Amino acid sequence: MKNYFSSNFKLGVLGGGQLGKMLLTETHKFDIYTSILDGDKDAPCAQICNEFHQGSLMDFETVYNFGKKVDLLTIEIEHVNIDALLKLEEEGLEIYPQPSVLQIIQHKGRQKDFFVKNNIPTSSHKRFSNLNELKTETLNFPFVWKSAQFGYDGTGVKIVKNQDDLNLLANTDCIIEELIPFKHELAVIVARNKNGEIKTYPVVEMEFHPEANQVEYVICPARISNEVSDKARNIALKVAESFKHIGLLAVEMFQTKNDEILVNEVAPRTHNSGHYSIEASYTSQFEQHVRSILNLPLGNTASKVAGIMVNLVGSEGFSGDVVYENMEEILKMDGVTPHIYGKKQTRPFRKMGHVTIVNNNLNEARKIAEKVKNTIKVISK
């Protein structure tokens, strides 16, 4: 086995945002030398990695040249230049998740086609190259519209209720999906290493903000039956095996009214739905990502205690230098741990941090989470 620890081995990460910052906690723990590429000189990772390079993740030369200086390359965001990754891989660089997997996942149309081809249950969909093409279609309202690329945190996703709503959509490569009435939105994180060892985290339940289409709470374990939980984990395993990816894969799903499980979409990286694991699990998703991409034995994915994560997002009506109001109040609460991402500027609904609440009683944790949500405010000076 390679000596990754306290050695000359250099791990490259494309993206220096909050996911990278939390990953660095684990690379620091293992003393793994880490080099980061990000477009923002003030990215959360900039001051705390071993090496920081500023440059566009979508620029071929920038990504290619960065990759030539590291021993293994991973990502914390999937919007990266795939051609550069394919060339680096061809030249012998290990890249996880693999560029071929990223190429499918970073385009929502290709991702949905992949589910259909591999008999993974998902809602029906159609692909369109632009808005004009979509407008010529006979449409059944309501439906879900998604930009095929570069959507995140509620941007690039809209529920289209009538003909007028079509005029509010971006003129871009897109897909439309059947609108699924569901009981719960669920997620399962799957870890897989090069040896093919594979593990799933417990099923979590996600509660969304009605307007921002952003996760407000992640609840672990999900408040569902064992039967539904087993079904969700098995489908997540099938998705991971179909991709044969290496690293972490977050599988987001719907539990329908009749308890079927449909895959919504996947993310090939550490994910918002796994942040609770830092405090609540035996092995956090970030440590597991390091273990999986370096082909180390995977850690225990079980929870030590019930965990709920609350996203901290910029309050409406505030843009500018960030201030976290009432932080002292939430620090007085038992089992509450805030994570501040290090973004200096806030704006409405921007992800600025999260808070984990751990408790032996899930219902009690949920009550405290509500209190946290109503107490802390992300505003500007």
189 is in an annotated binding site: no
328 is in an annotated binding site: no
CB neighbours of 259 closer than 8 A, spacing ≥ 6?
A: 183, 225, 227, 228, 231
- State how far the Cα of 169 lies from the Cα of 15, in Å rounded to an integer: 28
135 is in an annotated binding site: no
- State how far the Cα of 377 lies from the Cα of 327, in Å rounded to an integer: 8
146 is in an annotated binding site: yes
The b/e string for 13-26 (b: 16+ C-beta within 10 A; e otherwise) is bbbbbbbbbbbbeb
CB neighbours of 125 closer than 8 A, spacing ≥ 6?
A: 109, 112, 175, 176, 177, 178
- State how far the Cα of 308 lies from the Cα of 363, in Å rounded to an integer: 10
Beta bridge partners of 79: none
Measured in whole angstroms, how far is the alpha carbon of residue 248 from the centre of its chain? 10
Angle at 228 between CA 225 and CA 230, to 5 degrees: 105
264 is in an annotated binding site: yes
279 is in an annotated binding site: no
316 is in an annotated binding site: no
180 is in an annotated binding site: yes
325 is in an annotated binding site: no
Would you list which residues are annotated within the binding site? Answer: 108, 146, 177-180, 185, 264-265
Would you list which residues are annotated within the binding site for ATP? Answer: 108, 146, 177-180, 185, 264-265
